[in-house]
Structure 1
Amino acid sequence: MQQILVNQNAITETRAVTTQAEPLAPRQARLAIESFALTSNNVTYAAAGFDIGYWQFFPTSENGWGIVPVWGTARVVESRTDVLSVGTRLYGFYPMASELVITPENGSAGLVDAAAHRAKLPLIYNQYTPVKNGPASEDHLRALLQPLLATSYLIYDWLQDNDCFGADQIIVGSASSKTGLGLCRYLFEPKERAYQIVGLTSAGNRAFVKGLGHCDTVLTYDQIADLDHVPSVYVDMSGNSTVKAELHGTLKHQLKHSSAVGLSHWNQFTPTTPLEGPKPQFFFAPSQVAKRRQEWGPGKIEAQITAAWKRIAASASDWMDVQVHEGVEAAEGVYAALAKGEADPKIGAVIRP
């Protein structure tokens, strides 16, 4: 079995290792991973690995080295359980590796990995969805877009749930990221809206964001001073503390809410000065899912998420080029570019172990 290990204290450092696969215990199934996506989302998993628990999903025996979770598709190749038969294909949360052993159970939430070490982790990450054989492109788009656009939609839903905190403008940081562009799209969809959408991005990505057509205004990070001084919400996808400090300092009391979502700029996360205005609050997508499940019943928010991400995926070829890399070891270079902030936002990277 091949795995990519990441230094938990220096997350740009990786190494590929080969380990001996363990025999299955009763009730277990072995899944061969067919493909998985790598995006800035995975950098956030590594950067928040200790704070949110992402390192706990796929533990290793090497102290200080962990496995970053990815989204992808796998096939059951060995089974000692009646729950899963050989040949079943499953979409879900996987290690950056060539295989995974799970303890599958069927319950009210569908198929889940009931392994003891995952029992206290968020349910949404323990669920696995059977998928049919189809074009590889379907697997690739699902892995690349579903997790990110699900987060985008849940942020949108959460903003509506809170009446956008009374904001006249919603500022989306790192608007070139797939989560950022998804949020801009969902915010743009209502025919009547009481807010303006401002995309914040780097100079190199400004034309890309502007070309998508879902922002009323696109500003670069050095244009933060040009923001309108009106009631605002900031949704931060990057975690860049310098950008955050300047935005807070510019808007001050006009900033009604500041939300932290991603950490793609993880190496610029530590605040250098106290922030003016509201204290940033971390947005945790599973919490919004749990809230809606309780309010609406099972399946309702999931159906909305599915419909929402598929709307954007339908036109993905217009703005995203999928690049497929062969072999687990290829993940090292792709992940490194993402972690160092060198990845092209137009590229959707897929690894085929």
Structure 2
Amino acid sequence: MHRILVDQQKITKTTPDEVADRALEPGEARLALESFALTANNVTYAASGFAIGYWKFFPTGVEGQGLVPVWGVAKLVESRADDLTEGTRLYGFYPMAESLIITPEVSSRGNVTDVAAHRKDLPAVYNSYIPVGDTTPEQDHLRALLQPLLATSYLLADWLEDNGIFGAEQVIVGSASSKTGLGLCKYLAENAGRGFRIVGLTSSRNKAFVERLGACDSVLTYDEIDRIAKVPSVYVDMAGNAEVKAALHAHLKDQMKHSAAVGISHWDRFNPAVELEGVKPQFFFAPAQIAKRREDWGPGEIDRRIGEAFMRVASEASGWLDVKVHQGLESALEVYAALASGQANPQEGHVIRIA
């Protein structure tokens, strides 16, 4: 099996690697990846691999080397599990590799959970695999590119509204050109009676792109922070850029009512030791909001709402997303490098096709 190892201390350093396929144990199944997406989200997985536990999902057996998780579709090619047959195609959380061995447990609804011992204490949402049947490659690509990010976007919007926007008059979305940032702006804008403004923050090269999408009330660049109104505010940070966060906190001071840390795509500018004025940033963990809503609304409802929200935005994707398909696992090396160095174009979505 070919795989791509990532240095856990220097996440821009990648190494193509090959290991022999091991024999399956009773109850196990082997999945061969067909395709997966690469986005800034995967860089966040690597940058927070120790803090949140993303390195734990797919152990490599190589000290200091990890497998970055990706979202994609794989086909079951070998099975010693009673409830899962060969040929089944599953969408879910995979390593940046050609295959994965899971210990599947199939629910009455047909969803599959990997109950392997090393994953049992990890967040359940990442251990769940969904049968996708005979979908087209285009459907697979769009799902892998957008579903995980837009799910986070929807959960952020739901969490903000669940908390009364923390009494704020404006929500400031950092890295508004990212797919998660874009989705959050769009879901917040759906609230017709909202009593708050949506302010998108982005780089100068991406400002026109964010403005064109029309989800923000205003779009400012990172060097225009002093133009942000000094009113009660919430900051949702997708990038983790310490300088931007410090400048924004210093500008708003006690008007910053909540500062949410979501991603660290600007991992090289992330510095949790930087002293900030006002409220202390708090990490937003999407699985926690899922768990809360499952308790609030009952089984299946939050999943239904996330699915509907995904379709609302994904149906418009052809107008702003250019899907780039790359052939072969090793093509991921160049794409990942561009994402990790911040060189990727937000209008592009990158998919690695293996089979």
TM-score by length of 1: 0.99
Deviations, residues 132-190 of structure 1 (Å, cap 9, x unaligned):
11221000000000000000000000001000001100000000000000000001112
> How far is 1:48 from its partner?
0.5
Structure 1, unmatched stretches of 5+, are: none
Deviations, residues 232-287 of structure 1 (Å, cap 9, x unaligned):
00000000000000000000000000000000001111146410010000000000
Equivalent residue number for residue 64 of structure 2: 64
Q: Does 1:81 align with 2:101?
A: no
Aligned residue identity for 2:119: R
Aligned residue identity for 2:18: T
Task: Please show how residues 80-229 of structure 1 align to structure 2 within 5 Å.
Answer: 80-107=80-107, 110-229=111-230
Q: Is the 8 A contact 2:326 2:353 kept in 1?
A: yes
Aligned residue identity for 2:66: G
Aligned residue identity for 1:274: E
> How far is 1:191 from its partner?
1.5
Task: Please show how residues 243-262 of structure 1 align to structure 2 within 5 Å.
Answer: 243-262=244-263
Distance in 2, Cα, partners of 1:77 & 1:274: 52
Q: Does 1:314 align with 2:288?
A: no
Q: Is the 8 A contact 2:236 2:261 kept in 1?
A: yes
Equivalent residue number for residue 334 of structure 1: 335
Q: Is the 8 A contact 2:84 2:106 kept in 1?
A: no
Local SS of the residue matching 2:229: coil
Distance in 1, Cα, partners of 2:83 & 2:158: 34
Q: Is the 8 A contact 1:198 1:215 kept in 2?
A: yes
Aligned residue identity for 1:105: E
Q: Is the 8 A contact 1:242 1:271 kept in 2?
A: no
Number of residue pairs the alignment of both structures matches: 353
Q: Does 1:350 align with 2:351?
A: yes
RMSD of equivalent CA atoms: 0.9
Structure 2, unmatched stretches of 5+, are: none
Q: Is the 8 A contact 2:294 2:300 kept in 1?
A: yes
Aligned residue identity for 1:74: A
Deviations, residues 202-244 of structure 1 (Å, cap 9, x unaligned):
0000000000000000000000011000000000000000000
> How far is 1:295 from its partner?
1.3
> How far is 1:108 from its partner?
7.2
Deviations, residues 47-98 of structure 1 (Å, cap 9, x unaligned):
0000100000000111000000000000001111111100000000000011
Equivalent residue number for residue 25 of structure 1: 25
Local SS of the residue matching 1:52: coil
Distance in 2, Cα, partners of 1:12 & 1:49: 13
Equivalent residue number for residue 301 of structure 1: 302
Equivalent residue number for residue 237 of structure 2: 236
Q: Is the 8 A contact 1:172 1:184 kept in 2?
A: yes
Local SS of the residue matching 2:329: coil
Local SS of the residue matching 1:306: helix
TM-score by length of 2: 0.98
Distance in 1, Cα, partners of 2:106 & 2:280: 41
Q: Is the 8 A contact 2:106 2:112 kept in 1?
A: yes
Local SS of the residue matching 2:81: coil
Distance in 1, Cα, partners of 2:143 & 2:216: 25
| Higher deviation after alignment, 170-179 or 266-275 | 266-275
Distance in 2, Cα, partners of 1:91 & 1:237: 25
Aligned residue identity for 2:75: R
Deviations, residues 107-143 of structure 1 (Å, cap 9, x unaligned):
4784200100001000000000000112210000000
Distance in 2, Cα, partners of 1:227 & 1:126: 41
Distance in 1, Cα, partners of 2:85 & 2:106: 13
Aligned residue identity for 1:164: I
Q: Is the 8 A contact 1:259 1:280 kept in 2?
A: yes
Aligned residue identity for 1:136: P
> How far is 1:106 from its partner?
2.2
Equivalent residue number for residue 291 of structure 1: 292
Q: Is the 8 A contact 1:28 1:104 kept in 2?
A: yes
Deviations, residues 284-316 of structure 1 (Å, cap 9, x unaligned):
000000011111111000100000011111010
Describe the shift of the 1:295–1:272 C-alpha distance in structure 2 as closer, same or farther (beyond 3 A): closer
Q: Is the 8 A contact 1:242 1:272 kept in 2?
A: no
Local SS of the residue matching 1:50: coil
